Amino acid sequence: MQRLILSKKNQITVASAILISIAFLSKWTIGTTNIFVWSLVIASVLGVAPVAIQAYQALRVKVISIDVLVTLAVAGAFVIKNFEESAIVTFLFLFGAYLEQHTLSKTRSAIKELTEMVPESALKQMENGEFEEVEVDEVDVGDILLVKTGSKIPVDGIVLTGEGHINEASITGESLPVNKKKGSQVYAGTILENGTIQIVADRVGEDTTFGRIIELVEEAQDSKSEAERFIDRFSKYYTPAVLILSVVVWILSQNIELAITILVLGCPGALVIGVPVSNVAGIGNGARNGVLLKGSEVINDFSRVDTIVFDKTGTLTIGNPKVADTEFYTENTDEISGYLASVENESDHPLAKAVVEYIGDTKLYTVEKTDVIKGGGIVAQVDGHRVAVGNAKLMKQENVNLDEKVRADIARFEKNGNSIVLTSVDGKIKAIMGIRDQIRPGVKDVLQRLKKLGVKNLIVLSGDNQGTVDLVARELGLTEAHGHMLPEDKSAYIKELQAKDRIVAFVGDGVNDSPSIALAQIGIAMGSGTDVAIETSDVVLMNSDFSRLPHALGLTKATSRNMRQNIIIAVGVVLVLLASVFFSEWMNMSIGMLVHEASILVVILNGMRLLRYKLRASYK
């Protein structure tokens, strides 16, 4: 019976509204007292039934809830035969609960939207080579799947054949399509906007990046911050205190109606709901914008960050070295480029790959008698010429003369933070290339926005040489730069900052920087959705999108500000209502309950504003 009544709360609310309307219409039209009274009595009994059941369930676990206060208030109104008050109070309480549930469900719309993006079926290659549609649960790691234009990628995988553009907004929050071809990583829940591809599944079901995102956001929205835990403790003692206050007022004043009114007005409903709705909405906004905030506590800590420490490689820089500066000492640059590319094709060193990529399509020559010089480079016979590719030490070993112009160019390249690759042919210097890791596009603007958001210290830590790190720091306007740092050195430096009462966030790639990510108050991973990034950090910027960092910080500040607003609104309304009971004549139980439910709706709507949060133009 209890379950049936609770399941019909919405219908009971409608019935109460109809009965109250009938009561007042009969009084104002035909003036019939019986219809007026009995309609209100039935409305009161109907309305209090689900409230009383919830009160009983709370008392069974030794909790004095809001439902207990309302049930006692309605019972008291019956005792003094104030059926008008009892009917209106129960209706407003039920209607307020309906609005609360309805608006709260909207704040969880991010989760709903995410889960709706999960594909339900896939085209799987069967033993006969044909593709058949199957439930996505039937796909295993290693299966080959066909994805057509307009379809959702069913699992995480690697492209085997085909090419197309994929909308990865569900993973990164970025709506611009990303080109995918053979060897590219694709993610479940993303959409193939054009082309046809075949992929091999490497993560399925809940193990996909998309599945992990949904799981993390759900866990984060269910977590409680310090503020919420305080409010829970406060409500635990506050609600019985209101009950005691009403009893004391009744004993001293012998005015039961006044005591009952205090029961209704003292309900801390808006206070209890105000902080959770802000957290849920803030986390939901982040999920839709490529930012995973892993819990309410993260929001509180991140909003107070005054120092952000960055790893350099893969965070401030792209992580792949590229040719930045070149100088040729011959007019036949195409031939020298061909010799250089032919030799570097023999090596898998990152600098060699950067050179080959830079030269691109060119005529290649047969390479003979390749000799790899440890710590120096490569010497080989190419098209009848002795070609040496490497550093200055190798050139000296090859008796290559470096004149004043060449030495000046080398010094200039090194000042720019380059690693130097020299090329000589038959003992004469022919070319110099400066190779360095490139700064991520837009990073400087992002760091300026972080400063505008109140971050006082922007620090880079790197294992690279100090000169290279200083160059990056100067270009980006960072506060401090420290090179030659191993992972343990970075952790020790973060401890030093924390000892100075700094609130530190560390931004890294989520792999070799995991100790620092774990140690900082806030660990932020540039993770591309990798398992390590998701597991070790507090905040994940999906797809390593550095530009999401200001949005993440601004969102946490807005969410914390929103929590404080809701607490002020909730406490302020209760204080005003209780003061009105004692110091005004216009306050009664019905008006108090109307204001009380309105305050709940206000804090919910205030929290829901976070779903539409965008970083203000002044921070861009």
Radius of gyration of the chain (CA): 34
Residue with tokens 């035909």: 30
3-state secondary structure of 183: coil
What is the CB neighbour count within 10 angstroms for residue 570? 24
Query: Any catalytic annotation for residue 232?
Result: no
405-414 burial code (b ≥16 CB/10 A, e <16): ebeebbeebe
- Which residues, other chains included, contact 39 with Cβ-Cβ below 8 Å and sequence gap of 6+? 19, 20, 22, 23, 26
Q: How far is CA 599 from CA 187, 584, 587, 593, in A?
A: 43, 20, 16, 10
- Which residues, other chains included, contact 279 with Cβ-Cβ below 8 Å and sequence gap of 6+? 221, 223, 225, 228, 296, 299, 559, 563
Q: Of these residues, 301, 311, 464, 545, which one is catalytic?
A: 311
Residue with tokens 């306050």: 587
Element (H, E) at 145: strand 144-147
d(CA 58, CA 66): 9
- Which residues, other chains included, contact 405 with Cβ-Cβ below 8 Å and sequence gap of 6+? none
Pairing label, strands 291-293, 428-439: unpaired
Q: What is the sign of the dihedral through the CA atoms of 273, 277, 278 and 283? A: positive
Residues catalogued as catalytic? 311
